[in-house]
Amino acid sequence: MAINWTEAQIEEVVASILKNLASETPAAKGWDSTQYNGRKLIGIYEDMNDAIDAATAGYKAVRAMRLEEREKVIAKIRELCRAEASIMAELGVAETKMGKVAHKTAKHCLVADKTPGTADIVAQAKTGDYGLTLTEMAPFGVVGSITPSTNPSETVICNSIGMIAAGNGVVFNPHPNAIATSNYAVDLVNRASAAAGGPKVLVASVVKPTLDTAQVMYKHPNIRLLVCTGGPGVVRSVLSSGKKAIGAGAGNPPVIVDDTADIQKAGKDIIDGCSFDNNLPCIAEKEVFVFRNVADELISAMLQNGAYKINAQQAAKLAEIVLVDVKNPKTGIVKKTVSRDCVGRDAKVLLAKIGVNVGDDVRCIICETDFEHPFVQHELMMPILPIVRVDDIDQAIDLAVKAEHGNRHTAHMHSKNIDHLTRFARAVETTIFVKNAPSYAGIGFGGEGHTTFTIAGPTGEGLTSARSFTRYRRCVMSDSFRII
Ligand code: NAD
């Protein structure tokens, strides 16, 4: 049905949208993305073209550095990241109103300690009758990096370490709702560079990132690689840019608990993972499928570990608050979307919205639902955990795979049955599969392996590190250098 609006009506709607948008900007909220406590942040530009020019100069400087010098800069970034972890954590929570200071502090320390540096770049050699062929991992040039609001400074620093270790320059188009925090991290990288003898501006960002500044980045000839960490919309946009792109997109990680698991441990691990930074990490537990015969015991273990159980009516009421109807202006189709006012909020804040008052000891809201419930289907990114009872492993795997929606991002399982573990891992095909631990073990927090905050499922790089930001180059030496 066509709607015939007058020009005045259209203007009124546009003005109201612009007013709402303006009141949401960091500047309107008093956030300044160019300074911190009166100290001017280094590497922040009004114009994206100027930011790209600065990142290009940074790239040239990195290329001229010896590996040893590059590693010195990275060591200084690690040192400052650790020393200023709590500042960035507090800034992140204050600016975005999402997450937990203690957990964000821990995430920065994880980035400082477990993001691979230049050691991740390794050459391969092949020798034979015809001599030696060497394959080296070379930089792309200047990388354009789009970063999220959920782990803003963590992603900027983690990507900077990997991209610089690989020999690239970097320009950021951070999430507008986390711009002060993200630009603080850009400045930290530049301070580290200057202190370690590198250029004063090594990485760059803009004062006010928008979809238009992202487009400038997509089209600029100096940008040779785009790396996008965010939801499905922005990943789609970089993948259709016509440039080489790495896409780290959304997840909706399911957890299966079978009747061979250590149920007490499973209950604690799931609440620990699900409530970490108020469920902002894309890898965090989002819905549970538990065998019927151990469901009561699992719920009881969760309740002993900071969970609060709500009933079906309360869950329905909460669903109406945390998921709102948003109309696509182009298609007119109305879709349930997570409310930005609820993402990453404390469990007690969410419970207060349905008239339940609890203290800080409540870390997570749990509820029993069926598979179709919106809490199971939507990536909420808040400490709300729906629990679905299942009859057996076939039903558990079937529903968990469907709930993951083909993102192939992350899945979890608590079990001691090797066949069950193997069957689920094969069926769900996720980039990360965590067995018998909280979700964050999958990114090296209490688990083996390096860390990253850019997990590239859609484009297949997996848990990105320096080598993900390189291109392979071959050098052939004919008939020599095989010395055996
Ligand atoms: P978001 O999708 O709202 O925004 C991400 C960034 O993209 C922001 O900088 C935003 O301004 C920009 N953006 C959005 N649409 C764009 C477009 N069309 N063109 C250019 N830029 C655009 O992300 P968010 O809410 O901050 O983060 C949450 C989402 O990101 C979740 O879906 C989460 O799972 C995902 N995520 C994934 C990873 C991963 O490593 N796979 C890491 C963190 C977050």
pLDDT in tens, 150-181: 999 999 999 999 999 999 999 999 999 999 99
- Domain check: are 44 and 159 in the same one? yes
Same domain, 233 and 160: yes
Shortest-distance atom of ligand 1 to CA 248: 41
The residue that leads in pLDDT, 9 or 272, is 272
Instruction: Report if residue 480 sits inside a domain.
Output: no
Q: How many domains does the chain have?
A: 2
- The answer on 216 and 266 residing in a single domain is no
Q: pLDDT tens-digit profile of 49-94? A: 999 999 999 999 999 999 999 999 999 999 999 999 999 999 999 9
Measured by CA distance, the residue closest to atom 44 of ligand 1 is 230
Per-residue confidence (pLDDT) for residue 365, from 0 to 100: 98
152 lines ligand 1 (CB under 6 A): no
Strand partners, 137: 472
Residues 441 and 470 reside in one and the same domain:
no
Q: Is the CB of 415 under 6 A from ligand 1?
A: no
396 within domain boundaries: yes
Mutation test residue for ligand 1: of 110, 150, 285, the one with most atoms within 8 Å of CB? 150
- Residue 368: half-sphere exposure toward Cβ, Cα within 13 Å: 11
How many Cβ atoms sit within 10 Å of the Cβ of residue 477? 14
Q: Is 0.85 topped by the overall pTM? A: yes
User: Per the domain annotation, does 281 fall within a domain?
Assistant: yes
Q: Is the CB of 283 under 6 A from ligand 1?
A: no
Ligand 1 contact via 252 beta carbon (within 6 Å): no
Whether 237 has a pLDDT exceeding 50, the answer reads yes
User: 211: Cβ below 6 Å to ligand 1?
Assistant: yes
pLDDT of residue 190 exceeding 80: yes
Ligand 1 atom closest to Cα of 176? 11
Q: Answer yes or no: do 379 and 426 share one domain.
A: yes
Q: Does residue 244 form part of some domain?
A: yes
Region of 30 please: left (phi>0), alpha (psi -120 to 50) or beta.
left
Residue 77's pLDDT is 98
Predicted local confidence at residue 16, as pLDDT: 41
Query: Which atom of ligand 1 has the smallest separation from the CA of 236?
Result: 18
- What pLDDT, on the 0 to 100 scale, is given for residue 315? 98
First to last CA, the chain: 79
The closest-lying atom of ligand 1 relative to the alpha carbon of residue 149 is 26
* Ligand 1 lined by 240 (C-beta under 6 Å): no
Percent above pLDDT 70 for the chain: 94
Q: 381-422: per-residue pLDDT in tens?
A: 999 999 999 999 999 999 999 999 999 999 999 999 999 999
Check residue 405 and give its pLDDT.
98
CA distance 92 to 215: 26
Evaluate if residue 234 carries a pLDDT over 50: yes
Q: Domain for residue 454, yes or no?
A: no
- The finding on whether 251 has its CB within 6 A of some atom of ligand 1 is yes
Instruction: State both tokens at 168.
Output: 């690239």
Domain of 79, CATH number, reads 3.40.605.10
Arithmetic mean of pLDDT, 182-204: 98
Same domain flag for 230 and 286: no
**317 with 436, same domain?**
yes
Phi (first) and psi of residue 309, to 5 degrees: -95, 130
Residue 453 in domain = no
Q: What's the confidence (pLDDT) of residue 356?
A: 98
Q: For residue 471, is it left (φ>0), alpha (ψ between -120 and 50) or beta?
A: beta
Q: Ligand 1: does its nearest atom lie under 6 Å from the Cβ of 463?
A: no
Q: Are residues 227 and 308 in the same domain?
A: no
* Share above pLDDT 90 across residues of the chain, in percent, rounded to a whole number: 92
Domain that holds residue 305: 254-448
Residues 193 and 267 in one domain: no
- Which atom of ligand 1 is nearest to 457's Cα? 41
Please name the residues in contact with 243: beta carbons below 8 A apart, sequence gap of 6 or more. 218, 223, 224, 225, 226
Atom 20 of ligand 1, residue of closest alpha carbon: 211
157 and 34 share a domain? yes
| Residues 168, 312 within the same domain | no
| For residues 366-386, average pLDDT | 98
The domain that contains 326 carries what CATH number?
A: 3.40.309.10
Quote the mean pLDDT of the chain: 94
**For residue 1, is it within any domain?**
no
Domain membership of residue 436 (yes or no) is yes
Residues 95-124: pLDDT tens digits? 999 999 999 999 999 999 999 999 999 999
Under the banding of pLDDT at 50, 70 and 90, the label for residue 11 is very low
Same domain, 100 and 54: yes
